[in-house]
């Protein structure tokens, strides 16, 4: 798409985006909004209420297509927060517009990367990590697909924001790597069981975000820390909007195999 070109407009669609208040999620929401046709629904989920509400106001103001933006502020690592998010989807999606459904599981966290494998001894810490990074993605996707239902002529697409870490082990990143690997496999199973649902595991590349700042300052292993520092120093970190643009291109072309793991650098 050339500079100033109109983005491809989707028909009246329903989109659910987690981790929407900052970083990749916020960039994706800003690129999605102008693509959504009249009467579309965009549901933004995140932990922090104030930046979420600010983003929603911005998107409502910039959308000329009568876009409906709904915010759900919930702590997805807790049962109470996840229940709140699931109930919101069950309330919003049955009356959503008849066009396509897009669910983007973007919310995620690094965990305590100062710790090595042998330092991870607290079951509560580990369970909270997986509750947020794996359980919530499964439950929210299930809730969205069930609440929207099967509608003749309406496609359903589920995106998991994945990582190279789903495929490759990194020192001090036992929680993050295993969480990302679990999510990739979980969504491959969805692709197998539900052939009418399009499923994509998209690894957005090393993004220039707060998470990368943590990676280069808090990772316990010195060699890993230097690796992340060198990515930043050599200008190899990717702007969130550039990677989000690639994801939307992938979705619009719709040529990927359902369940596939596609990396930013593969495109």
How far is the C-alpha of 144 from the C-alpha of 156, rounded, in Å? Answer: 10
Whether residue 208 is predicted with pLDDT greater than 90 in this model: the reply is yes
List C-alpha distances in Å: 137 to 86, 106, 130: 11, 9, 10
56 CB neighbour count, 10 Å cutoff = 19
- Determine the pLDDT at residue 47: 96
- Determine the pLDDT at residue 65: 63
Q: What percentage of the chain carries pLDDT values higher than 90?
A: 91
- Determine the pLDDT at residue 112: 97
Structure confidence by residue, pLDDT tens digits, 45-80 = 999 999 999 999 999 987 666 899 999 999 999 999
- Determine the pLDDT at residue 64: 61
Whether residue 13 is predicted with pLDDT greater than 80 in this model: the reply is yes
Class of domain 14-206+240-263: alpha beta
Question: Which residues make Cβ contacts (< 8 Å) with residue 72, sequence separation at least 6?
Answer: 43, 44, 45, 84, 85, 88
Using DSSP, how many helices (H) and how many strands (E) does the chain show?
Answer: 9, 7
Structure tokens at 95: 């009356």
Helix (H, G, I), strand (E, B) or coil at 89: helix
Whether residue 5 is predicted with pLDDT greater than 60 in this model: the reply is no
Structure confidence by residue, pLDDT tens digits, 94-118 = 999 989 999 999 999 999 999 999 9
Helix (H, G, I), strand (E, B) or coil at 198: strand
199, 190 Cβ separation under 8 angstroms: yes
Burial class (CB in 10 A: 0-12, 13-18, 19+), 62: exposed
Structure confidence by residue, pLDDT tens digits, 154-204 = 999 999 999 999 999 999 999 999 999 999 999 999 999 999 999 999 999
208, 240 Cβ separation under 8 angstroms: yes
The whole-number average pLDDT for the span 30-48 is 94
Q: What percentage of the chain carries pLDDT values higher than 70?
A: 96
Q: Helix 174-193 and helix 123-130: axis angle, to 10°?
A: 40
Match 């990582």 to its residue by tokens.
163
The whole-number average pLDDT for the span 258-267 is 97
Nearest to 68 by CA among 47, 46, 99: 99
Structure confidence by residue, pLDDT tens digits, 210-227 = 999 999 999 999 999 999
């Amino acid at each position: 798409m050339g500079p100033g070109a109109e983005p491809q407009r989707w028909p009246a669609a329903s989109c659910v985006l987690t981790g929407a208040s900052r970083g990749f999620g916020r960039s994706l929401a800003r690129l999605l909004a102008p693509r959504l046709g009249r009467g579309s629904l965009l549901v933004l989920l995140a932990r922090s209420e104030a930046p979420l509400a600010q983003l929603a106001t911005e998107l409502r103001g910039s959308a000329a297509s009568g876009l409906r933006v709904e915010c759900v502020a919930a702590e997805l690592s807790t049962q109470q927060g996840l229940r709140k998010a699931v109930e919101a989807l069950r309330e919003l999606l049955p009356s959503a517009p008849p066009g396509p459904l897009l669910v983007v599981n973007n919310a995620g966290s690094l965990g305590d990367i100062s710790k090595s494998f042998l330092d991870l001894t607290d079951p509560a810490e580990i369970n909270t990590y997986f509750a947020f990074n794996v359980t919530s993605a499964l439950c929210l996707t299930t809730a969205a697909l069930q609440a929207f239902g099967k509608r003749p002529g309406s496609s359903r697409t589920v995106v998991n924001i994945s990582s190279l870490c789903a495929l490759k082990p990194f020192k001090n990143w036992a929680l993050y790597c295993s969480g990302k690997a679990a999510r990739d496999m979980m969504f491959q199973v969805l692709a197998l069981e539900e052939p009418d649902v399009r499923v994509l595991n998209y690894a957005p590349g090393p993004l220039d975000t707060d998470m990368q700042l943590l990676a280069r300052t808090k990772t316990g292993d010195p060699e890993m820390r230097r690796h992340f520092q060198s990515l930043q120093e050599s200008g190899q970190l990717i702007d969130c909007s550039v990677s989000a643009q690639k994801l939307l291109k992938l979705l619009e072309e719709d040529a990927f195999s359902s369940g596939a793991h596609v990396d930013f650098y593969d495109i």
